[in-house]
Amino acid sequence: MSRALIEVRDLVKHYPPRRGRGASVRAVDGLSFDVHEGETVGIVGESGCGKTTTARLLLALLKPTSGSIAVDGRELTTLPGRELRALRREMQMIFQDPYSSLNPRRTIGSIIGEPFVIHGVGAGRGERRERVQELMARVGLNPEHFNRYPHEFSGGQRQRIGVARALALEPRIVIADEPVSALDVSIQAQILNLLRGLGRELGLTMVFIAHDLSVVRYMCDRIAVMYLGEIVELATTAQLFAHPRHPYTAALLSAVPVAYPWLAATRTRQVLAGDPPSPSDPPAGCRFHPRCPRAEPGECDVRDPLLEAKLGGNLAACHFPLTGDAAAVSSSRVPPR
């Protein structure tokens, strides 16, 4: 396995209560994981679980409450401003909304070329324009549309503009925060194929955040499942889909649509009771225990489980993990002939 390019240890981000009243919002509460060079790691979970906060912490757009983020051996949380600015050339973000992330008053040529101006790349306007048009062609845009504005493009084309801007400085790391959730399904496939192809071609290390398990299955080498600010399971994509060990992961997978009616008829839908607790008042013990069908009183409601290796190599934070074929998800099987 390649070396770890991103190393996260005990990462915490708490937001203070509004107007000084109530408890802090524990958006991210003790994450630890690595991302290896050339690898794509997915982060999935329900809305409000801390996915986007994690993305912004990884790019130092937010200051953590505590914990460590090391990028290529450099501690991001204590890096001086000048060194952090230089490091940002190697780390870029693709945003969720392809329209609001683009300045409507600027041409796409100036939007894509802005990183060159900020970091002093290129000898002049002519060279920068040439490099921008090369980027446009690489992501499937017509280079002759250099002087058009964002409103003149479709949603998929606008996301291609965002991808081109993220790749302008030839970064090593790309953080993609739900980059296809605002697009039509057919356009999603085009953007995913583009990102997957560019990732392989350029050797990118990616953190891919999504709520759609089918998307991360297609894009990612490993997947981290988050619940209420914590990682509850981390495994290779194949192992996670075939043999999830955490009940929350199994419930998410049971909701993934399958292509074949005969296969859907063999599956049991696992419906979670209730709503996720408030991140400002998480339950004691395992945070998932109020909704977990396997929770045991006196254990799950008292002791917080550690994220540790379970059967099959999955890392899972569960006192009573799923075992055997009862946890298998068979959506990858082909229909009988």
List pLDDT tens digits, range 127-141. Answer: 889 999 999 999 999
Q: Is 66 in the same domain as 189?
A: yes
> What is the rounded average pLDDT of the residues 19-23?
77
pLDDT reading at 151 higher than 70:
yes
pLDDT band at 256 (very low <50, low <70, confident <90, very high): confident
Which pLDDT tens digit goes with each residue over 177-209?
999 988 888 899 999 999 999 999 999 999 999
- Whether 136 is covered by a domain: the verdict is yes
Q: Is 165 in the same domain as 306?
A: no
Q: Is 177 in the same domain as 252?
A: no
Q: Is 196 in the same domain as 256?
A: no
Residue partners of 279: CB distance under 8 A and separation at least 6: 25, 26, 27, 48, 50, 228, 229
Q: What is the CATH number of the domain that holds 176?
A: 3.40.50.300
- Whether 334 is covered by a domain: the verdict is no
> Quick one: the chain helix, strand, coil %, rounded to 5?
35, 20, 45
Q: Is 108 in the same domain as 193?
A: yes
- Whether 333 is covered by a domain: the verdict is no
Which residue bears the tokens 């600027």? 106
Q: Is 184 in the same domain as 239?
A: no
Which residue bears the tokens 């005969």? 262
- Whether 30 is covered by a domain: the verdict is yes
Residue partners of 242: CB distance under 8 A and separation at least 6: 328, 329, 332
> What is the rounded average pLDDT of the residues 271-284?
85
3-state secondary structure of 25: strand
Please report, rounded to a whole number, the percentage of residues in the chain having pLDDT higher than 70.
92
Q: What tokens appear for 226 in the block?
A: 């988050």
Which pLDDT tens digit goes with each residue over 307-324?
999 888 899 999 999 986
Q: Is 90 in the same domain as 108?
A: yes
The Cα-based distances of 212 to 28, 98, 232, 303, 334 in angstroms read 20, 18, 17, 30, 21
DSSP string, 190-248: HHHHHHHHHHHHHT-EEEEE-S-HHHHHHH-SEEEEEETTEEEEEEEHHHHHHS--SHH
CA nearest to 318, candidates 268, 250, 269: 250
Neighbour count for residue 184 (Cβ, 10 Å)? 12
pLDDT reading at 280 higher than 80:
yes
pLDDT reading at 333 higher than 60:
no
CB-based contact 179:96 (threshold 8 Å):
yes
Q: Is 283 in the same domain as 201?
A: no
- Whether 13 is covered by a domain: the verdict is yes
> What is the rounded average pLDDT of the residues 104-128?
88
The Cα-based distances of 252 to 146, 197, 285 in angstroms read 42, 27, 21
- Whether 337 is covered by a domain: the verdict is no
Q: Is 71 in the same domain as 160?
A: yes
pLDDT reading at 264 higher than 70:
no
Q: What tokens appear for 144 in the block?
A: 């002759």
What are phi and psi for residue 245, nearest 5 degrees? -105, -20
Range of the domain at 119: 4-220
DSSP string, 128-149: HHHHHHHHHHHTT--GGGTT--
pLDDT band at 335 (very low <50, low <70, confident <90, very high): very low
Q: Is 155 in the same domain as 125?
A: yes
Domain count, the chain: 2
Which pLDDT value is given to residue 323?
Answer: 85
CB-based contact 52:209 (threshold 8 Å):
yes
pLDDT band at 325 (very low <50, low <70, confident <90, very high): low
Residue ending a domain, choose from 192, 220, 248: 220
Residue partners of 188: CB distance under 8 A and separation at least 6: 180, 215
User: How far, in Å, CA of 308 to CA of 49, rounded?
Assistant: 20
Residue ending a domain, choose from 197, 220, 243: 220
